[in-house]
């Protein structure tokens, strides 16, 4: 009986998930991933969304203490665009600190595709009946729904530090109280 319940839950989750694709220049996409990797290991000062991670919030005129998972993803595209002398209009994702807003924008502007993760995709989670959510960037796709990601505003499972870290996630499992909303990819 427990297997049947798990199967039904997985079918419900899989059925509702979508992947949307946005246009992005290949050079911006690749270099922004390098930018994200350069931030891995950046830690909060007191585990209260403060310290060096505050730079992600500066683009939004927000102060320490605010969540920065979506801000960090946007920051990678923004700093890369500036470094390459590209227009900010080429940044494919919405400039927002709300992961849910970024996903909603991609859903409205993007092309729906098969729900299959790819390198560079953003994976979105959301708390049920809330605007609260989380986003991470996929850099490696493994077997059985496992993806490796770069997550801003995450916890290092070994040290307990909070900041920007590599994570191992499963596309079929929730993240604490957050359920997977879908993927946003780029072409």
Q: Residue 110: what are its φ and ψ, rounded to 5°?
A: -85, 170
| pLDDT at site 14 | 47
Fold classification of 17-186 is endopeptidase fold (from Nostoc punctiforme) (3.90.1720)
The structure tokens 């929730």 sit at: 174
What is d(CA 38, CA 142) in angstroms, rounded to the nearest whole number? 22
Q: How confident is the model at residue 1 (pLDDT cuts 50, 70, 90)?
A: low
Listed residue (14, 33, 37, 12) closest to 24, CA to CA = 33
Q: Is residue 151 over pLDDT 60?
A: yes
| pLDDT at site 9 | 47
Q: Residue 81: what are its φ and ψ, rounded to 5°?
A: -60, -40
Contact between 26 and 11 (Cβ < 8 Å): no
In the structure encoding, which two tokens stand for residue 84, read together?
Answer: 């390459």
Delimit the domains of the chain by residue range.
17-186
In the sheet that 122-127 helps form, which strands lie side by side, from edge to edge?
Answer: 111-113, 18-22, 178-186, 122-127, 133-141, 146-155, 162-170
Instruction: Identify the weakest region by mean pLDDT among 6-10, 78-82, 97-101, 170-174.
Output: 6-10
How confident is the model over 23-71, as pLDDT tens digits? Answer: 999 999 999 999 999 999 999 999 999 999 999 999 999 999 999 999 9
Whole-model pTM over 0.85:
yes
Q: How confident is the model at residue 16 (pLDDT cuts 50, 70, 90)?
A: low
The structure tokens 């227009």 sit at: 87
């Amino acid at each position: 009986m427990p297997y049947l319940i798990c199967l039904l839950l997985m079918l419900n989750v899989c059925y509702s998930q979508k992947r949307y694709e946005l246009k992005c220049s290949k050079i911006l996409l690749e270099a922004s991933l390098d930018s994200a990797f350069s931030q891995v290991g950046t830690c909060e000062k007191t585990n209260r969304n403060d310290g060096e991670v505050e730079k992600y919030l500066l683009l939004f005129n927000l102060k320490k203490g605010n969540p920065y998972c979506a801000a960090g993803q946007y920051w990678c595209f923004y700093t890369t665009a500036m470094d390459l002398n590209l227009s900010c209009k080429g940044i494919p994702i919405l400039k927002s600190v709300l992961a849910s807003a970024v996903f909603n924008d991609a859903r409205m502007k993007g092309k729906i595709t098969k729900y299959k993760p790819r390198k560079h995709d953003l994976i979105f989670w959301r708390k049920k009946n809330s605007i609260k959510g989380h986003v991470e960037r996929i850099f490696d796709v493994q077997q059985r729904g496992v993806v490796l990601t770069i997550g801003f505003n995450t916890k290092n499972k070994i040290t307990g530090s909070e900041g920007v870290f590599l994570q191992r996630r499963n596309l079929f499992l929730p993240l604490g109280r957050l359920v997977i909303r879908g993927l946003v990819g780029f072409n």
